[in-house]
Amino acid sequence: MLSRQMLGLLSTLWLIAATKTADFETSEAGNPFVDGWYADPDTQFYNGAYWVYPTSSLPYDDQTYLDAFSSKDLVHWTKHSSILTTADFTWAHRAVWAPAPIYRNGTYYLYFGANDIQTDSELGGIGVGVADKPEGPYTDPLGKPLIGAYHNGAQPIDQDVFIDDDGQAYIYYGGHSHANVAKLNDDMISLGTFDDGTMFKEITPENYVEGSQMVKRNGIYYLFWSEGGWTGPDYAVSYGMSSSPLGPFDRIAKILQQDEAVATGSGHNAVIQVPDTDIFFILYHRHPLGSTDGNDRHLAYDRLYFNDDGTIQTVKMLVHDNFEDGNTIGWQTYGGDWSAETNALRGSASSSSNALLNTNFANFTYEADVKLLTRGGSHRDSTAGLIFRVSGTSNDTTSFQGYYAGISTAGTLFLSRSNGSQSTTLGSTKADIKPAQRYRLKVMANGSSIRVAINSKTPAVIAVTDDAYANGMDGVRVFKAQAEFDNVNITRLTSN
C-alpha cells in the first residue's frame, strides 16, 4: 500500500501536471502538428480539450467528410474520423469547407460550406450540423442550407460563428472577396435581422478574399481574414479591429505570410486561447516548401502576441521539435531506422542515415541535443550530429550535399562538408565526448562564417569560413552509430 505521504506527493504531482499551462513559443512538438492533408482549421475548447476542425484537403468531389482532432495539452492529438459526412445532409454533396464549431445550451454546432455554388440557381451554401458531442456525428436540423444564396456579392462559404458576451450570436462569412455578417437567433439554426430590417451587412475590409474569423479580446473585436490565392505561396492572414461586432474593420496589417525558410501559403486562420490566460496561438494551414499541389496543405500553430495597444505582432513560424508527441511528422528519413517513440528522435545506421526537415535556412542558429548511444572501442569513428544547408539527398545516404557538425566516439567535435561523393573535414577539436550523455550542439551560420559549439565539460568551438553551400535543408545524421536527438530549435539570424 502507498503511504499517506506518498499519496499526498502523487496528488500534488498530478495537480501540477493537470494545471501545466501550454505557454509555448510555438508548436514545441513540431509543425505540422498532425499528419495528413488538412486546411482551413477552426477551433473550440470543449470539456477540458482543444478541438480542431479542418477541411479535408482533397479534390472538391472527394471533400464529402470532415475529420476533427482533440488534445488536452496542444501536444498529443487524437484524430476523430468522419464526424460529419454529406450522407447526413441531403443537399450537400461536395466541397465541404472550413467547419466552424460552437456550443450552445447542450448542443454542439458545426457550420460548413458545401457544393461551392457559383450562382443562386445552384443548391448549396452554408449549412449547419448539430450533435450532442464534439466528435459528432453531426446531423442536419434544417434539410437545406442556412445561407443558400449570394448576398452583397459574398459567396456563401468560409463562415465563423461567434457568441458575444450579451448572448447575441453572429455569423461572419464570405468568399469571392466579399465579407458579410449576419445575426443568428438563439436556436443557432436561423438568421435574425438587424435593427434596420436587413439580414446581411457587408463588412468587406481592404484586400479581403475569404476566411473570416472573429475573436474578442479586452472588449475589442478582431476580424481576421485571408488574402491571396489559397493554392499559391502568397496566401496570407490580415486583421482589423473594431469596438463593434459589426465593424468597420479597417485593415491594420498582414500578420502571417510565407517564409522562404519554413513554409509557403500560410493562411486561413483561427485563434486558440489557453483558457483563463492571455496566451494565444494562431492556427492555420500552409504548404511545404517546394510543393506544387495546391491541396498539399498541413495544419500548424504558432504564438500570437498582442501589443499593449491591442494591435498584433507579426507571426513568426518557428521550427522546434521536442518529440513529446512521440512522432516524426514533418521529418523525411533516408536510410537507417528512425523513431520518436522514446520522446526523442532515435536513429541508427550500420553505414549512414539522415533525417531532414523541409526547411531552407541560409543564416541561422540551429541547436539540438545529441546523445551518442554507440560506444568507442571498435567503433571509434561512429558519429552523430546536425546537418544543414543540405541539398541533393536521396536514399543513397552517403551522397548528401551540405555541412555536418557532429560528435564522434573518438572524442571530437567536428565540422565537415560533403559534396555528394566526398567529405572534407573543415575543423575538428578534442571534446571529451562520453557515450549516453546528452550534449547541446549549436551551429551559427552567417554567410560564409560557420561556428559550431558544444557544452561539454571542456567547451569546444570550431569557427571556419566556407562558402560552398549558402542555404538548404536542416536535419540530423548518424554514421555507423545509434544516437538520440532532442529539443531541435532552428531560428533565423535577425540582424540581417
Ligand X SMILES: *[C@@H]1O[C@H](CO)[C@@H](O)[C@H](O)[C@H]1NC(C)=O
Question: Interface residues with ligand X (CB under 6 A)?
Answer: 25, 105-106, 186, 362-363, 365, 367, 394-395, 419-422, 446-447, 489, 491, 493, 495-496
Assess whether 210 carries a catalytic annotation: yes
Cα distance between residue 440 and residue 368, in whole Å: 6
Residue 366 CB, nearest distance to ligand X (Å)? 9
For residues 96 and 349, which CB has a smaller minimum distance to ligand X in the complex?
A: 349
CA atoms within 13 A on the CB side of 74: 28
For residues 273 and 446, which CB has a smaller minimum distance to ligand X in the complex?
A: 446
For residues 176 and 451, which CB has a smaller minimum distance to ligand X in the complex?
A: 451
For residues 27 and 204, which CB has a smaller minimum distance to ligand X in the complex?
A: 27
| Strand-pair category, 449-454 with 364-372 | unpaired
Alpha carbon separation from 89 to 113, 122, 123, 147, 494 (Å, rounded): 12, 16, 12, 14, 51
For residues 78 and 424, which CB has a smaller minimum distance to ligand X in the complex?
A: 424
Spatial CA neighbour of 247 closest among 357, 170, 330: 170
Q: Which three cell numbers stand for residue 150?
A: 449570394
For residues 78 and 395, which CB has a smaller minimum distance to ligand X in the complex?
A: 395
Residue 157 CB, nearest distance to ligand X (Å)? 28
Residue with cell 548518424: 478
Burial zone of 242 (CB within 10 Å; 0-12 exposed, 13-18 middle, 19+ buried) = middle
Q: Are 373 and 435 in contact (CB under 8 A)?
A: yes
Residue 25 CB, nearest distance to ligand X (Å)? 6
Determine which one of 210, 302, 325, 367 is catalytic: 210
SS3 441: strand
For residues 180 and 353, which CB has a smaller minimum distance to ligand X in the complex?
A: 353
SS3 461: strand
Cα distance between residue 239 and residue 433, in whole Å: 51
For residues 19 and 421, which CB has a smaller minimum distance to ligand X in the complex?
A: 421
Residue with cell 449576419: 182
Residue 288 CB, nearest distance to ligand X (Å)? 15
Task: Kindly write down the DSSP assignment for every residue of 19-45, as one continuous string.
Answer: H-----SB-TT-SS-S-S-EEEEEEEE
Q: Which three cell numbers stand for residue 181?
A: 455578417
Cα distance between residue 159 and residue 145, in whole Å: 13
Cα distance between residue 66 and residue 255, in whole Å: 28
φ, ψ for residue 134, nearest 5 deg: -60, -30
Cα distance between residue 270 and residue 282, in whole Å: 6
Determine which one of 40, 67, 140, 484 is catalytic: 40
Residue 413 CB, nearest distance to ligand X (Å)? 19
Cα distance between residue 405 and residue 475, in whole Å: 11
Neighbours of 224 (CB within 10 A): 28
For residues 322 and 409, which CB has a smaller minimum distance to ligand X in the complex?
A: 322
φ, ψ for residue 60, nearest 5 deg: -50, -40
Residue 220 CB, nearest distance to ligand X (Å)? 27
What is the helix, strand, coil percentage profile of the chain, to 5? 5, 50, 45
Residue 389 CB, nearest distance to ligand X (Å)? 11
Residue 419 CB, nearest distance to ligand X (Å)? 4
SS3 16: helix
Residue 373 CB, nearest distance to ligand X (Å)? 23
Q: Which residues pair with 391 in a beta bridge?
A: 401
SS3 260: coil
Assess whether 40 carries a catalytic annotation: yes
Residues serving a catalytic function are: 40, 210
